[in-house]
Amino acid sequence: MKASIICCYYNEINLIKTKLILFIDFIKKAKLDTEIIIVDNNSNDGTTEFLTELSHNKDYQEIKFIFNSNNLGKGGSIKKACTIASGKLACIFDIDEYSYEDLLSGLRYFDNHNVDLLIGSRILKNKKFIYKKNLYGVIALTSLINKLFNLNLTDSAGATKIFKLESYKSTTIHTLGFNFEFELICKFAKKKFIINEYPNDYNPRTYAQGKKISPLKDGTKILITIIKSYFI
């Protein structure tokens, strides 16, 4: 089943310089039926220029690039990528903190399982969280989702999410930020789509290394999104 791997970036010049080419080459060598869609979210630190140069490199012509003229947020960027995705699956993946091998395992999971959304769970693997407040936030938000939507998840915030595009296109997602992924879970659950998890290795980076999510600010938005999704 062809998968469209979506990678979104905003001001990540250090990350993409050190890891993006390695990731692309890894996916090429895996010889799975995939495409890579890279979204630049109107960066201003050199990310846009680096990706523009890469898009003109003949060795990477099969990569699809999107350059947003405005910052659409992570969710807005994912939604835009889904409009040009040619796969039956869409995969949200962060190359900085997650295992490439685990990504391949997730894509292969769909060969033998009938599932609409597959979430990579850090809790099922190594529980390696640098910041305890982030771990507690994950547990609290996941517990709320489980209670409201009758699920049995361990890590709703796991950044590897693979889903059927057909199921996604039958669902209306309103949010544009990090909370997009939580609304995706809630809306899929409301439609009684099948949601599973699988173990994901996790090597978190620090805020000094570029980690962006704010437990308080983003956590509040996610909480509101979960509650709104339950009632709307």
Q: For residue range 19-34, what is the model confidence (pLDDT) as tens digits?
A: 999 999 999 999 999 9
pLDDT in tens, 70-123: 999 999 999 999 999 999 999 999 999 899 999 999 999 999 999 999 999 999
Q: Is the pLDDT of residue 53 over 90?
A: yes
Scanning 35-131, the segments in alpha helix (DSSP H) are 47-55, 73-84, 100-112
Q: Tell whether the model's pLDDT for residue 61 goes beyond 90.
A: yes
List the one residue out of 202, 156, 204, 203 whose CA is nearest residue 181. Answer: 156
pTM, two decimals, is 0.95
* 135: amino acid identity, one letter: L
Decide which of 210 and 93 is more confident: 93
Contact 47, 11 (CB under 8 A): yes
**219's tokens:** 């956590």
CA 18 to centroid of chain Cα atoms: 20
Domain with 55 in it: what CATH number?
3.90.550.10
pLDDT digits (tens, 9 = 90+) for 118-166: 999 999 987 667 667 888 899 999 999 999 999 999 999 999 999 999 9
Q: Which domain holds residue 219?
A: 3-231
DSSP percent split of the chain into helix, strand, coil, nearest 5:
45, 15, 40
Nearest to 159 by CA among 176, 178, 131: 178
Burial 31-51 (b: 16+ CB within 10 A, else e): eeebbbbbbbbebeeebbebb
Q: How many domains does the chain have?
A: 1
- What is the Cα 169 distance to its own chain's centre? 17
Selection from 139, 145, 181 nearest residue 163 by Cα: 181
